[in-house]
Amino acid sequence: MPDASYDVVIIGSGHNGLCTAAYLARSGLKVGVFERRHEEAGGVHTEEATVPGFWHNLHAQYMEFIDYMPFYHDFDLPSFGARMIKPEAQVGITFADGRPPLIIYTPELEDKTYASIARFSKHDAEVFNEIRRKVMASDQYLAALLYTPAPDESRGETASPIAGKLFELWLGLGFKPGEMQKSPKVLIDELFESTELRAALYRQCIEWGSNLHSGNGLGFVLSVIWLCGMHYMSVGGTHTLGHAMASACLHEGVDLRYNSPVTSITTENGRATGIRLKDGRDIEAKIVASNADPRTTFMELMGWDRLSAFRKERLANWRFGPEHVLGTPSFALHAPPDYKSAQHDPDINRCFYTIVGFENHDEVSEYILQAYGGRIPETPGAGTWVNTLWDPSQAPPGKHAMNGWFFFPNASCLSPQEWDEVRASYNSRFLDLWVRYAPNMTRENVIADKLYVPLDIEKKIGMPEGDFSHGRPGAFVLGVPRSHVYRTETEGLYMCGASAGGGGISSAPGYNAFKVIAEDHGLPKIWQREDRIY
């Protein structure tokens, strides 16, 4: 006899798993979520990483999908404590030689964006604003592409009609059909002439996980144009959003079980029947959805002997990284950075996301090629956030907490001892670089610091190689048919994590998994609304 029984069990309480759980519970099913750690929400992760009182986001930093995320709005996450701030100055790059900064503002402030870019090139300012204006006019179709399950060619499904809207947008931007295969780098270089804007857009592309050199035009539209300037800050740290998601699940009747690691998925006659926990308990379920990565789900929880030939081939070709592998520096500060570039435009000192360490676009390109190539980048450039400029609750009174992102090689590229050396030295190297851009960023201004490397991310959050997208079988385009993305060849077993629909705090994989499960099991299509096309 099973120790407990549910309609649905979900493995892992990452934000995607919580999203799937909340919608299925609202649809009337009995749902249990089983989490190996004592906290929920995976990469939505905030800790007092340096010294007590300073709160640092150790993985996800900004919430770029808040305006579109169904989970956020359908479950009224602000009523459960989620609060967002959208700073006006969104993306900025500063320079050690004291040049003016380049700042991209929210779409509503396109005049300010124009003025900032025009310091370097009026051509670039006009082209950037024109393209962004056209993209934002189609943002609901881009969101629909993200929040609609990819067609499953194993079921004879063809490309989504929404993909046709993307093609129309592409042509409307003045591109030829074949140019969609151009890399983001090539497109940026062809469109823009100033090294300052190119550098900022290169880094923005990298931040979103689009491969600068071998990605495609979709990565350019999504990360460089659409989402550049759509960043929200989560008040209290990103984990506040995770807590709100968990609270919404509890409100819907979801059973959240922490400190409950799953050791296997049970099956009978090719159908998933539940899970077994580390403590030996058997949990019965009609439906099993995994928020874990494919390697964990299939190789560890299912086991090689129970996998189909298709799945074995898929796993053999599965690739983790290198595009989505982060290192997170955290600094507790007496005072926020005061950049040389602020003498020209003080908004750089209150820019939500500030790029530090690069003087031109070639340096950004070389930086990421080194990381993709399995090397620690020689120049410790970073994207930085000082959230206490807007939310003083993240540090003691009068002090500041900085978070950042480095891009690093996969966790397995270095030995544990080599990662120890990176932890011990790389923040110091960054500080030596940072002071060239902000003269007040001396060691005396630093109270404490810590570096979180891909090996830490793999062990703590459960992201193999430190890959925040759980890997992928190869290059793909949203809307193009693929096999067994949310459904698996094991009846009753579904995937609801980042591997199915991309990284970032969108909850799209979880939302799309819910849609697929609802379709398969005849649940009400509660996502169909007059005010939303997805």
| Residue 73 falls inside a structural domain | no
Residue 161, pLDDT score: 79
| Residue 200 falls inside a structural domain | no
Q: What is the pLDDT of residues 24-52, one digit of tens each?
A: 999 999 999 999 999 999 999 999 999 99
Residue 464, pLDDT score: 96
CATH at 35: 3.50.50.60
Residue 220, pLDDT score: 85
| Model confidence at 420: pLDDT above 90 | yes
Task: Give every CB contact of residue 52 below 8 A, 6+ residues apart in sequence.
Answer: none
| Residue 499 falls inside a structural domain | yes
Q: How many CB atoms lie within 10 A of CB 470?
A: 29
Segment (H or E) for 513: helix 508-521
What's the start-to-end Cα distance of the chain, in Å? 41
Q: Where are the beta strands (DSSP E) in 196-316?
A: 233-234, 255-257, 262-268, 271-277, 282-290
* Structural tokens at position 54: 């300073």
Residue 475, pLDDT score: 46
Question: CA-CA distance, 52 to 216, in Å (whole number)?
Answer: 43
Query: Starting from the edge strand earliest in sequence, which strands make up the sheet with 353-356, in order?
Result: 102-105, 89-93, 353-356, 382-385, 400-407, 326-333, 446-452
| Residue 17 falls inside a structural domain | yes
Residue 480, pLDDT score: 45
**Domains in the chain, number:** 1
Residue 375, pLDDT score: 98
Q: What is the pLDDT of residues 259-272, one digit of tens each?
A: 999 999 999 999 99
| Model confidence at 470: pLDDT above 80 | yes
Residue 474 pLDDT level (bands cut at 50, 70, 90): low
Query: How many Å separate Cα 205 from the centre of its chain?
Result: 12
Question: CA-CA distance, 419 to 442, in Å (whole number)?
Answer: 25
Question: CA-CA distance, 321 to 60, in Å (whole number)?
Answer: 16
Share of the chain above pLDDT 70, in %: 98
In this structure, are residues 235 and 246 in contact, taking their beta carbons and an 8 Å threshold?
no
Residue 502, pLDDT score: 82
DSSP state of 49: -
Q: What is the pLDDT of residues 349-407, one digit of tens each?
A: 999 999 999 999 999 999 999 999 999 999 999 999 999 999 999 999 999 999 999 99
Q: What is the bridge-based pairing of β-strands 271-277 and 262-268?
A: antiparallel
| Residue 301 falls inside a structural domain | yes
Task: Give every CB contact of residue 211 below 8 A, 6+ residues apart in sequence.
Answer: 183, 184, 219, 323, 372
| Residue 304 falls inside a structural domain | yes
Residue 154's alpha-carbon distances to 347, 461, 473, 485, in angstroms, are 52, 32, 16, 10
| Residue 12 falls inside a structural domain | yes
| Model confidence at 484: pLDDT above 80 | no
Task: Give every CB contact of residue 410 below 8 A, 6+ residues apart in sequence.
Answer: 320, 321, 322, 325, 374, 454, 465, 466, 467
Residue 120 pLDDT level (bands cut at 50, 70, 90): very high
- Mapping DSSP onto H, E and C, the string for 415-458 reads CHHHHHHHHHHHHHHHHHHHHHHCCCCCHHHEEEEEEECHHHHH
Task: Give every CB contact of residue 530 below 8 A, 6+ residues apart in sequence.
Answer: none
| Model confidence at 139: pLDDT above 50 | yes
| Residue 263 falls inside a structural domain | yes
* Average pLDDT score, the chain: 95
Residue bearing tokens 């709005």: 73
Residue 483, pLDDT score: 64
Q: What is the pLDDT of residues 206-221, one digit of tens each?
A: 998 899 999 898 888 8
Q: For residue 473, report the phi and psi dihedrals to the nearest 5 degrees.
A: -80, -5
Tell me the residue range of the domain where 241 lies: 4-46+235-318+475-521
Q: Which candidate, 217, 203, 91, 67, places its Cα nearest to that of 147?
A: 67
Segment (H or E) for 519: helix 508-521
Residue 174, pLDDT score: 94
Residue 476 pLDDT level (bands cut at 50, 70, 90): very low
In this structure, are residues 184 and 340 in contact, taking their beta carbons and an 8 Å threshold?
no
